[in-house]
Chain A
């Protein structure tokens, strides 16, 4: 009799090796606001997944990561609104200095790519700028906690795949 699959496989959840196969070595990752909020904010079910991506894949240099300046601004609004100086400093430190991660400014190339996405596919401008920042830096995988992205991106930008954090949560502990 063939051995049973491990429980998490039978439950349809993906394991750490499958996360690594979804993010091949050398693939440049675009980390969006929702993914970084899952990392920097309070722990939630997707936090271990995004922590693994940031700390084990990006931090070690296996994968480079890019973050749009739009996302950086969005990440700073929360601490600034709450006047939480320590958290603001930590978030800034992370954005400035985290190894193998680059915050991409909205330059003319990104603006042109965003305009293309908006004109052809009616992306909202903020979404278009975030994705464009990744495309101009050669990102091939969008890492996100936002379940709307696979639908938004699948048909419109097949060159960029979507890594939805929730898909990699191992259910039932």
Chain B
């Protein structure tokens, strides 16, 4: 290859073919340290978006959990587990999962909920200690996608509790007036 004006060169056809380079592709040239000097030519894809597929998790929540797990591996990752074997969140994981809350070491130690995982389902997102049982309940249909019980008796009990609570609120506010 002859270097022309402004350091231009033409890639020989067989080299281009070997690299799989087509018009519009980008090739990266690197010059590693060492003597004699040499250059390496590497094709790069126009886009690497999605090349790893679901290897970091299938949902945004799983991907954040992936990062949290890697970060937790730097410290004491064993924060204990719930009765069903669900691991509790470490302090670092808790800071990420509960990003809207200012999780301090003191609050993390005091408030058990900050050690609970959040359900992956976007409609549910409840903080649950026994997440394995909770996921199984979702899978079996015992819980709907919002995390509410689906059996009629339980729904009736919940409605009755909510109505009672609303009545008590109304009663308190009327007395305050």
Contact = CB atoms under 8 A, between A and B. Distances in A.
A154 B177 CA distance: 44
Interface stretch (A7-15, A17-25, A71-79, A105-113): A71-79
10 contacts: A37-B56, A39-B49, A41-B63, A51-B47, A78-B56, A87-B53, A94-B51, A126-B70, A126-B71, A148-B96
Interface in A16-68: 33-34, 37-47, 51, 54-55, 59
Interface of B: 26, 28, 30, 42, 44-60, 63-64, 66-67, 70-71, 74-75, 92, 95-96, 99-100, 102
Given A39-B49, A78-B55, A151-B99, A34 B71 contact: no
Nearest to B71: A126
A40 B50 contact: yes
Contacts of B66: 37, 78
Contacts of A77: 70
A42 B95 CA distance: 24
> Which DSSP category, helix, strand, loop or mixed, fits chain B's interface?
loop
Contacts, number: 120
Contact of B63 (A37, A94, A98): A37
Interface of A: 33-34, 37-47, 51, 54-55, 59, 74-75, 77-79, 81-82, 84, 87, 90-91, 93-94, 96-99, 124-127, 145-148, 151
> Which DSSP category, helix, strand, loop or mixed, fits chain A's interface?
helix
Contacts of B74: 124-126
Contacts of A125: 74-75
A40 B28 contact: no
A146 B64 contact: yes
Contacts of A40: 48-52, 56
B56 A41 contact: yes
Nearest to A79: B55
A127 B55 CA distance: 22
A94 B13 CA distance: 25
Nearest to B69: A77
Nearest to A125: B74
Nearest to B57: A41
A96 B53 contact: no
